[in-house]
Amino acid sequence: MQRNNQKDQVVIDAKKFKIAIVVANFNEDITGGMLKGALEILEKNGACEKNIELVWVPGALEIPLACQRIAKNKKYHGIVALGCVIKGDTDHYLYVSKESIRGVMNVMLEFSIPIGVGIITVNNLKQAQDRSGSKNNKGAEATQAMLEMV
């Protein structure tokens, strides 16, 4: 593992890593941008396309179950969880945010598998867009964190 001087980002030799990426369909315009960032980080670190599996789920609350099923089969070195929860007019946002992230954390600890948590919780669409574009991409950050933990 070595640091990249440009952004102080760790460069990982991920050629042999098998990675699963769980992506929520809900707010797909945002999660799609995060997925793009995740895939760019995997490519930069040498991950082979054939070793990357995409798993689409309806929304953030379904992410933990998909992560659990993936972790149980012990086929992957790491998982990336991508979702977007935007605050609305009710408390629904609080429950979805808390429980989806807690569920992913439980899977990570139960199965001792690194999971890059890229479930963003934001107050509005602008904040979500800011976190899923080419700068400050939370999908890329979650993927980098997962790679460093593998």
Q: Catalytic residue among 3, 15, 69, 92, which?
A: 92
- Known catalytic residue: 77? no
- Residue 144's alpha-carbon distances to 44, 68, 98, in angstroms, are 10, 21, 22
CA 8 to chain centre: 20
d(CA 56, CA 90): 26
d(CA 139, CA 142): 5
The owner of tokens 């952004």 is 7
Q: Active-site residue numbers?
A: 92
